[in-house]
């Protein structure tokens, strides 16, 4: 609609579809700069889609049902159980209440802190608006920003590369949105029950490891790069390295120009984006728990152990098979899309791989090629974002034939592996 753009003219349809997809799938890739192209009305529509996409439609539907005091049916509880990656329906509505409480509370705190900081740079009304928009965007791991209206399109947070408050608040929102609502609920209840679930232990330990390891790698690779960390002081180097390690958790915001990073750092970022956030969160990727399961399975195989053990708990074989299936399907999706885009777009291979992985992981980081994509390329990236947000396994279940129980088993055979 014309009112959604600053110029008062309709946005090209493919760009409108791309923006709606990137907002709903909380990705952050954009073909036109959000702050520069869209009016306040258009930005509010985008922010609403980000909130809906981040929390999930069933969560929002439950919110309306609770507000209207409607009873949640058994069917709806089953759908909520699946949507929140829960193993049972017990306490599912209570969990949804916590999800809404945590989300709105964390976003409110982030918005207030952002408003205080930006009130020094802009009028208070604009600071409040910027605070709310970016708190919603960063908590839901969308990475959409409005800073392009200050003259530098697609700038993200590069002007705040060494600003402690902006960096720390942004990372707090990204991490809390990326670890998942189940983990937030566990942490909230920890004071009373003094115990974390296995899922929460795996998510927290793997997230912490990936962030610290990523910070070290970025710091080492970019330390002498004059276009990124080289021009910053020590505190700026550490802060920027930390942020660039956190943002591949599917956040999409960046304080360094991603196209100026060394190729080794860009490829490492691709790996982090592929892993992504955690189950039941606002992020994408194969998820930290999937990656952790694969790692411990490999370690168990190398050590010749039959059981795969995490924190003194044995994992069922179906969990291992599911992790392998998700990883392989995701890898195939990224490879196929990268090959197709490399065929139809005249761009460097690493840039295309980076863009594809960013879309699949619903990250939103880019090396600057999104606006240059052809119409076909934009549609392919839209599909990749959609598949990444749903999850390849969910998509396969939805599109594939209904599974039927086999009435017999084939004899066991042996092949040579490796």
pLDDT of 29 above 70: yes
Domain with 8, as residue range(s), is: 2-399
Query: What would the pLDDT profile of 291-329 be if each residue is shown by its tens digit?
Result: 999 999 999 888 888 888 888 888 888 888 888 988 999
Task: Tell me, yes or no, whether 308 lies in a domain.
Answer: yes
Q: What is the pLDDT of residue 268?
A: 94
**Considering the chain, what percentage of its residues have pLDDT values greater than 70?**
87
As a whole number of angstroms, the distance between CA 379 and CA 367 comes to 18
Task: Tell me, yes or no, whether 254 lies in a domain.
Answer: yes
Partners of residue 313 on adjacent β-strands: 310
The distance from CA 143 to its chain's CA centroid, rounded to whole angstroms, is 9
Task: Tell me, yes or no, whether 416 lies in a domain.
Answer: no
As a whole number of angstroms, the distance between CA 62 and CA 257 comes to 40
Residue 108: count of CB within 10 angstroms of its CB? 13
Task: Tell me, yes or no, whether 315 lies in a domain.
Answer: yes
Tokens of 94: 């209570």
Higher pLDDT, 45 or 417: 45
pLDDT of 342 above 90: yes
Higher pLDDT, 415 or 68: 415
Q: What is the pLDDT of residue 65?
A: 59
CB 388 within 8 A of CB 334: no
CB 143 within 8 A of CB 284: no
Closest to 323 measured CA to CA, from 358, 359, 298: 298
Query: What would the pLDDT profile of 3-23 be if each residue is shown by its tens digit?
Result: 889 888 899 999 999 999 999
Number of domains in the chain: 1
R_g of the chain computed on alpha carbons:
22
As a whole number of angstroms, the distance between CA 133 and CA 111 comes to 8
Q: What is the pLDDT of residue 399?
A: 56
Task: Tell me, yes or no, whether 296 lies in a domain.
Answer: yes
Q: Quick one: average pLDDT of 165-173?
A: 93
- Looking at the whole model, is its pTM more than 0.85? yes
Closest to 116 measured CA to CA, from 130, 104, 101, 102: 130
Query: What would the pLDDT profile of 230-264 be if each residue is shown by its tens digit?
Result: 888 999 999 999 999 999 988 888 889 898 999 99
Task: Tell me, yes or no, whether 194 lies in a domain.
Answer: yes
**Considering the chain, what percentage of its residues have pLDDT values greater than 90?**
40
Q: What is the DSSP letter of 156?
A: T
Question: What SS3 class is residue 313?
Answer: strand
Task: Tell me, yes or no, whether 414 lies in a domain.
Answer: no
Task: Tell me, yes or no, whether 88 lies in a domain.
Answer: yes
């Amino acid at each position: 609609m014309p009112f959604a753009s600053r110029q008062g003219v309709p946005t090209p349809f493919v760009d409108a579809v791309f923006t709606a997809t990137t907002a709903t799938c909380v990705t952050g890739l954009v073909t036109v700069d959000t702050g520069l192209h869209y009016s306040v009305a258009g930005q509010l529509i985008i922010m609403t889609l980000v909130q809906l996409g981040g929390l999930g439609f069933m969560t929002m539907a439950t919110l309306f049902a609770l507000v209207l005091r409607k009873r949640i049916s058994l069917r709806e509880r089953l759908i909520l159980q699946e949507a929140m990656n829960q193993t049972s329906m017990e306490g599912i509505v209570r969990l949804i209440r916590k999800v809404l409480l945590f989300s709105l509370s964390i976003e409110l705190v982030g918005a207030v802190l952002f408003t205080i900081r930006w009130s020094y740079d802009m009028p208070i009304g604009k600071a409040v608006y910027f605070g709310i928009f970016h708190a919603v965007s960063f908590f839901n791991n969308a990475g959409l920003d409005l800073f392009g209206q200050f003259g530098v399109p697609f700038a993200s947070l590069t002007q705040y590369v060494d600003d402690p408050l902006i960096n720390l608040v942004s990372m707090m929102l990204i991490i809390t949105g990326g670890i998942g609502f189940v983990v937030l609920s566990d942490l909230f209840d920890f004071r009373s029950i003094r115990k974390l679930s296995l899922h929460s232990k795996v998510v927290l330990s793997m997230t912490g490891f990936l962030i610290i390891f990523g910070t070290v790698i970025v710091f080492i690779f970019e330390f002498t790069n004059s276009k990124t960390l080289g021009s910053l002081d020590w505190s700026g180097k550490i802060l920027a390295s930390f942020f660039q390690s956190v943002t591949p958790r599917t956040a999409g915001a960046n304080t360094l120009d991603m196209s100026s990073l060394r190729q080794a750092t860009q490829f490492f970022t691709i790996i982090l984006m592929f892993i992504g956030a955690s189950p039941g969160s606002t992020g994408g990727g194969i998820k930290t728990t999937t990656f952790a399961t694969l790692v411990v399975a490999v370690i168990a195989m190398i050590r010749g152990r039959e059981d795969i053990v995490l924190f003194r708990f044995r994992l069922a074989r179906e969990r291992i098979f599911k992790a392998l299936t998700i990883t392989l399907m995701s890898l195939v999706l990224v490879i196929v899309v990268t090959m197709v885009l490399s065929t139809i777009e005249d761009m460097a291979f690493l840039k295309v791989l980076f863009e594809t992985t960013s879309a699949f992981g619903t990250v939103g980081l880019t090396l600057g090629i999104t606006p240059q994509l052809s119409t076909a390329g934009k549609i392919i990236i839209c599909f990749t974002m959609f598949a990444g947000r749903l999850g390849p396994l969910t998509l396969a279940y939805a599109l594939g034939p209904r599974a039927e129980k086999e009435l017999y088993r084939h004899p066991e055979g042996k092949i040579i592996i490796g």
